[in-house]
């Protein structure tokens, strides 16, 4: 029986396919495959999505913070741009699966970890997303607190920064609660607005510092190759890890693409270029603060505090907009879907949003941002070591092991081919452990510390290799003949 139909590279369920799985405990409206009319995101939608996500306070802090670690402007921008080019590869590879089959990340994870084992990668991604949610809210709270202090006697209120954080946390949870369908409309208008505000910030820095020369003339403090490499590799891992989260759950957005061309062009054009340009703005402004104020300031709220109340007001609005566009797109959908996937018939996306907000508080973002070392080496570096191996397994499974052939309806069956043994694919768990343990062990061996510094890359390669090896001729694979028997082809010839 043909349970799915492929038209111009997009696979959707037939009426028989949907009827077969609609009563499954692994199915609900948020986790089901998208239908043909729901594939409506254009290249511009993906471009505006990434512009809205990249222009955010953590991006600014990452770029400007590399200056405080001793890099000069071109070393900092080059490190971030290189990291984004590297992470763009798994983003596009995993987005392909979401676009072709219309499945969200937790369902995609059932392919490699099993119907129950999928909770391992989806919850890992979800917890990190919740951490980022808190970080963005804390940044925005600092800006809001600065605004209120500048315009009133807010500094005399006990716990004023904590109150500002509670306000921003509540605002972000409320907006995210409205649902993921609002993201496309919000990003459509937010993207050009954030671009204008970013350029205005650069113009101020250029004018106040007296031109490009004084602003970007500061030499690198890393005078030897050894000194530079000690900072470069952890910083590169941090730049990669910055979007390693989206490299996993990009199917949550790719599932709405009109075509593979739309998601590839939209993401390839916008993500690395926006991060590169906004990184340059962050580095340029931080360099300008050395000329203007005598010190490098990488906290935007601290820079805002030195302006008039009106400028602080406009800057705070921009920070709030940047926070919301990043949080609702990058940091809420993944954990909310992960929670929903735990019990699809009982938990909803909105329940997941509320739980995400609570977990964000438990992650204590104020500690992560206490100093830049925590941000780069503890936060980004540690979770990069976890997500790299998961990225490697995802890519290996879809591209090398299954060769892009999926029996879509069986992803929603408890006793289907993707249940493996007891709902867990032990081969994926073994590959994950190898990808994590090897870099951790190397961290404590002096000649091999570079493996830990590049944990995302090494973990990805290790897990990708071992997973491909372990899954050779696995019983869950769909042959070309079987794929043709369950799939009705319309229009262009399929490329499975």
* Token code pair at residue 373: 């070392």
Query: How much of the chain exceeds pLDDT 90, in percent?
Result: 42
State yes or no: pLDDT of 57 exceeds 70. yes
CA distance 376 to 65: 9
Q: What is the pLDDT of residue 7?
A: 94
CA distance 385 to 376: 13
* Token code pair at residue 64: 């400007």
Query: How much of the chain exceeds pLDDT 70, in percent?
Result: 93
Q: Within a 10 A sphere around the Cβ of 5, how many other Cβ atoms? A: 18
The DSSP 8-state label assigned to residue 495 in this structure reads -
Give the distance between the most distant pair of CA atoms in the chain: 73
Q: pLDDT tens across 71-98, in order?
A: 888 888 899 999 999 999 999 999 999 9
Q: Name the residue among 244, 248, 242 with its Cα closest to residue 98.
A: 248
Residue 403 is inside which H or E element, if any?
none
Q: pLDDT tens across 197-215, in order?
A: 888 888 888 888 888 877 6
CATH number for the domain running over 38-381: 1.10.4160.10
CA distance 363 to 464: 30
Q: Name the residue among 461, 452, 439 with its Cα closest to residue 389.
A: 461
In the chain, where the domains are located: 38-381
Compute the average pLDDT of residues 457-464.
95
* Token code pair at residue 346: 């009982």
Please check whether residue 299 is in contact with residue 161, taking contact to mean a CB–CB distance below 8 angstroms: no
């Amino acid at each position: 029986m043909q349970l799915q139909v492929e038209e111009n590279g997009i696979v959707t369920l037939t009426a028989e396919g949907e009827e077969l799985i609609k009563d499954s405990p692994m199915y609900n409206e948020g986790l089901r495959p998208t239908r043909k009319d729901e594939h409506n995101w254009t290249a511009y939608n993906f471009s505006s999505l990434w512009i809205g996500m990249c222009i955010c306070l953590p991006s600014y802090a990452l770029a400007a913070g590399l200056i405080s670690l001793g890099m000069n402007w071109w070393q900092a921008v080059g490190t971030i741009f290189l990291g984004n080019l590297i992470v763009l590869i798994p983003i596009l590879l995993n987005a392909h699966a979401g676009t072709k089959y219309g499945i969200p990340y937790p369902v995609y994870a059932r392919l490699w970890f099993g119907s129950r084992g999928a909770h391992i990668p989806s919850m890992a991604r979800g917890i990190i997303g919740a951490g980022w949610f808190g970080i963005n809210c804390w940044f925005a709270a600092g800006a809001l607190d600065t605004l209120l202090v500048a315009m009133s006697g807010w500094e005399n209120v006990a716990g004023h920064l904590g109150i500002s954080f509670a306000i921003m946390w509540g605002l972000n949870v409320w907006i995210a609660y409205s649902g993921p369908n609002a993201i496309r409309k919000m990003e459509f208008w937010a993207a050009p607005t954030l671009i204008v505000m970013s350029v205005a910030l650069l113009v101020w820095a250029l004018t106040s510092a007296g031109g490009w020369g004084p602003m970007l003339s500061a030499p690198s403090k890393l005078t030897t190759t050894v000194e530079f490499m000690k900072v470069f590799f952890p910083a590169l891992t941090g730049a990669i890890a910055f979007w390693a989260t989206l490299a996993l759950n990009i199917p949550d957005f790719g599932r709405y693409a009109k075509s593979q061309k739309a998601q590839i062009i939209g993401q390839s054009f916008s993500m690395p270029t926006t991060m590169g340009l906004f990184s340059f703005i962050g580095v340029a402004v931080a360099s300008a603060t050395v000329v203007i104020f005598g010190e490098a300031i990488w906290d935007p709220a601290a820079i805002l505090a030195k302006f008039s109340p009106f400028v602080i007001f406009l800057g705070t609005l921009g920070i709030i907009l940047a926070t919301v566009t990043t949080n609702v797109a990058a940091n809420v959908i993944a954990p909310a879907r992960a929670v929903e996937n735990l019990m699809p018939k009982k938990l909803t996306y909105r329940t997941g949003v509320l739980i995400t907000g609570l977990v964000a508080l438990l992650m204590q973002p104020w500690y992560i941002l206490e100093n830049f070392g925590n941000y780069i080496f503890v936060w980004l570096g540690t979770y990069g070591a976890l997500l790299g191996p998961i990225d490697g397994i995802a890519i290996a499974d879809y591209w090398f092991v299954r060769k892009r052939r999926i029996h879509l309806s069986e992803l929603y069956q408890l006793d289907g081919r993707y249940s493996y043994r007891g709902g867990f694919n032990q081969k994926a768990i073994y590959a994950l452990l190898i990808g994590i343990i090897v870099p951790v062990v190397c961290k404590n061996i002096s000649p091999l510390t570079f493996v830990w510094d590049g944990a995302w890359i090494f973990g990805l390669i290790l897990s990708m290799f071992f997973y491909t090896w372990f899954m050779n001729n696995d019983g869950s694979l769909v042959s070309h003949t079987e794929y043709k028997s369950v799939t009705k082809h319309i229009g262009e010839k399929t490329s499975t």
